[in-house]
């Protein structure tokens, strides 16, 4: 799925087919506070902060689109 020309969901499973760890995050849209996080494998600590920041940006994009669609109703 593309939102504003940004890839936000792996529909064909390319990432899952490789040897990568998965990071699941949830942020509150009201204040962007981290609610929960689950890392399924090891990740270098130096990459973790950047990965969380990218995930937060993705969550903000999705929350923005959801708000736009809700406001249309």
Question: Average pLDDT for residues 18-36, to the nearest whole number?
Answer: 85
pLDDT band at 1 (very low <50, low <70, confident <90, very high): very low
Place of tokens 């270098």: 44
CA angle 63, 34, 45 (to 5 degrees): 120
Three-state SS for 23? strand
pLDDT band at 47 (very low <50, low <70, confident <90, very high): confident
Q: Quick one: pLDDT at residue 7?
A: 55
% pLDDT > 70, the chain: 74
Whether residue 64 has pLDDT greater than 80: yes
Rounded distance between C-alpha atoms, residue 21 and residue 33, angstroms:
23
Whether residue 2 has pLDDT greater than 50: no
């Amino acid at each position: 799925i593309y939102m504003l020309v940004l890839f936000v969901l792996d529909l064909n499973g390319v990432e899952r087919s490789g040897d990568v760890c998965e990071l699941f995050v949830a942020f509150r849209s009201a204040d962007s506070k981290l609610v929960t996080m689950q890392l399924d494998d090891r990740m270098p600590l130096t990459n973790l902060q950047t990965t969380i920041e990218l995930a937060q940006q993705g969550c903000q994009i999705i929350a923005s689109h959801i708000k736009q669609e809700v406001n249309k109703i």
